[in-house]
């Protein structure tokens, strides 16, 4: 046993003693008969109104390319199947406020340059846009929805295509009408990844390469296209951020790079909305390194993420403080997953969920849960922070007697649709703070503050 591996196992054992956790493989991908393959880098996993999880697989040798839903206990249902992996539905799915799910294919469509699509929870499918490589972009990468209801799409570009060489950012209506916001020029970055909307209503993101040093950038852009590079990576402070940012409850943004730093194994960083960059920690090969997929801040305040290698050599799940202390939690084996690239997400039942691209019973990846003993909570879909706005809330245990409060002020109205989904109207006089929901089992608190804006 190597010294690094021994150290890793000691750290994992110590962590398990202090923090109880249960890792469970819920589904082994690639078992044939229409079963999907594993998940790709930074694929979004979204919780649906009924409590299921929704995402995509780009396909594999034995697993199909598909959009699918999977239950918290592992029951899987394919919503949409592509004829071959050539369409590359890499992005995962996001839940829109219209109850549909949105995603992209990287290489699908008539020109094989990507599409944006909408799929319902029962499998109804609509292609919203086919990229052509001109001013409308090429190589779709990700889609997200803003609080105002518009969708934002990033493309990676296809170096050499006349209209979109280094990637672009677009605003898209629900019907698929695209408005170009910014075309990257290499000097300001190349191949932008998924965006995140900040509490200041700007959108923040990273490019995996390009910039002043060729190692990637962090940028900010407004809904009208006002664009600013906030940071150029230089290798020493990180190289090639291959996952998007998250905004934590301290108002700052956090992310990782897959390489660079003092060890070459990637870094954990923080950046303020104004652009002040801090390198928090360097990942260590043999313990946890090569972080991939977006971080998630769970309800305990910690950041959680996955790394491509560490532990037994097949990757790891780690926890990090906002100050940068990194602790490995689970070391993957070939049997329970390999290449853990997709993002982690926290279901409102408190558990973390994620997927791998390889490993498992058929070596085509797994879908898993990680139970850290965290309590159930509620979360909400993007919504404008004005009195009179109807906010869609996900959780569990909702009944007709359920009451909703916006930072202590009762909602103007509450309508329970399912035991796991309700709508509540922002009352006059509400202030910025958590949403709380009363159930027969107790009071559930939102995992993020709801920001109220002056009318």
Span 395-442, pLDDT tens digits: 999 999 999 999 999 999 999 999 999 999 999 999 999 999 999 989
Pairing of strands 151-155, 140-145: antiparallel
Q: Reduce the DSSP state of residue 440 to 3 states and report it.
A: coil
Rg (CA), the chain: 21
Name which residue leads in pLDDT, 84 or 29: 29
Phi, psi of 148 (to 5 degrees): -80, -10
**Which DSSP string do the residues of 92-116 spell out, in sequence order?**
B-EE-TTS-EEEEESS-TTTTS-EE
Percent over 90 (pLDDT), the chain: 77
**Cα–Cα dist 177/151, whole Å:** 10
Question: pLDDT tens across 317-370, in order?
Answer: 999 999 999 999 999 998 999 888 788 999 999 999 999 999 999 999 999 999
Q: DSSP string spanning 154-168?
A: EE---BTBSS-SS-E
Mean pLDDT of 359-384: 96
Residue spans of the domains in the chain: they are: 3-371, 379-445
CATH architecture, domain defined by 379-445: Sandwich (2.60)
> Rounded to two decimals, what is the model's pTM?
0.93
Question: What pLDDT is recorded for position 19?
Answer: 56
Give the domain 3-371 fold: Methylamine Dehydrogenase; Chain H (2.130.10)
Domains 3-371 and 379-445 are alike in CATH topology: no
Give yes or no for a contact between 386 and 455, defined as CB atoms under 8 angstroms apart: yes
For the chain, helix (H) and strand (E) counts, in that order, are 1, 37
Stronger pLDDT, 127 or 310, i.e. the higher one:
127
The predicted structure's pLDDT at residue 10: 29
pLDDT of residue 287: 76
Asked if 106 and 139 count as a contact pair (C-beta separation under 8 A), the reply is yes
* pLDDT per position as a tens digit, 12-67: 333 333 457 999 999 999 988 889 988 887 899 999 999 999 999 998 777 899 99
Please state which of the ranges 13-22, 173-182, 189-198, 384-393 shows the lowest mean pLDDT: 13-22
292: Cα separation from own chain's centroid: 11
CA atoms within 13 A on the CB side of 283: 36
Contact 221, 188 (CB under 8 A): no
């Amino acid at each position: 046993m190597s010294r690094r591996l021994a150290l890793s196992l000691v750290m994992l054992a110590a962590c398990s003693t202090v923090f109880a956790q249960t890792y469970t493989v819920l589904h082994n991908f690639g078992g044939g008969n229409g079963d999907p393959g594993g998940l790709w880098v930074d694929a979004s996993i979204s919780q649906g109104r009924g409590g299921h999880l929704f995402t995509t697989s780009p396909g594999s040798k034995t697993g199909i390319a598909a959009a699918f839903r999977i239950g918290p206990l592992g029951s899987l249902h394919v919503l949409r199947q592509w004829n071959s992996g050539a369409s590359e539905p890499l992005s995962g799915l996001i839940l829109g406020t219209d109850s549909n799910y949105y995603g992209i294919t990287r290489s699908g469509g008539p020109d094989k340059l990507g599409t944006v699509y909408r799929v319902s929870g029962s499998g109804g499918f609509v292609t919203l846009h086919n990229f052509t490589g001109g001013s409308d972009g090429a190589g779709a990468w990700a889609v997200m929805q803003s609080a105002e209801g518009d969708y934002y799409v990033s493309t990676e570009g296809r170096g050499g295509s006349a209209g979109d060489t280094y990637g672009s950012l677009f605003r898209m209506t629900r019907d698929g009408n695209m408005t170009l916001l910014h075309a990257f020029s290499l000097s300001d970055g190349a191949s932008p990844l998924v965006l995140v909307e900040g509490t200041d209503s700007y959108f923040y993101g990273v490019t995996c390469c390009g910039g002043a040093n060729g190692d990637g950038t962090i940028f900010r852009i407004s809904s009208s296209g006002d664009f600013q590079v906030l940071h150029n990576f230089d290798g020493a402070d990180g190289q090639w951020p291959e996952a998007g940012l998250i905004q934590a409850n301290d108002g700052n943004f956090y992310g990782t790079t897959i390489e660079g730093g003092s060890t070459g194994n990637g870094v954990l960083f923080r950046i303020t909305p104004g652009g002040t960059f801090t390198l928090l920690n360097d990942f260590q090969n043999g313990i946890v390194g090569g972080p991939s997929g977006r971080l998630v801040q769970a309800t305990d305040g910690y950041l959680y993420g996955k790394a491509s290698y560490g532990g037994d050599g097949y990757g790891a799940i780690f926890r990090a403080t906002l100050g940068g202390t990194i602790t490995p939690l689970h070391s993957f084996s070939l049997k329970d997953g390999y290449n853990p690239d997709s993002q982690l997400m926290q279901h409102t039942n408190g558990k973390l969920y994620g997927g791998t691209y390889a490993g498992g019973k058929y070596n085509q990846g797994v879908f898993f849960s990680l139970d850290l003993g965290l309590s159930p909570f509620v979360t909400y879909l993007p919504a404008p922070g004005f009195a009179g706005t109807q906010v869609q809330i996900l959780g569990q245990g909702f009944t007709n007697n359920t009451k909703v409060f916006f930072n202590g002020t009762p909602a103007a109205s509450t309508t329970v649709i399912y035991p796991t989904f309700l709508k509540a109207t922002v009352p006059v006089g509400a202030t910025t703070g958590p949403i709380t929901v009363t159930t027969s089992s107790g009071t559930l608190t939102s995992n993020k503050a709801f920001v109220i804006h002056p009318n």
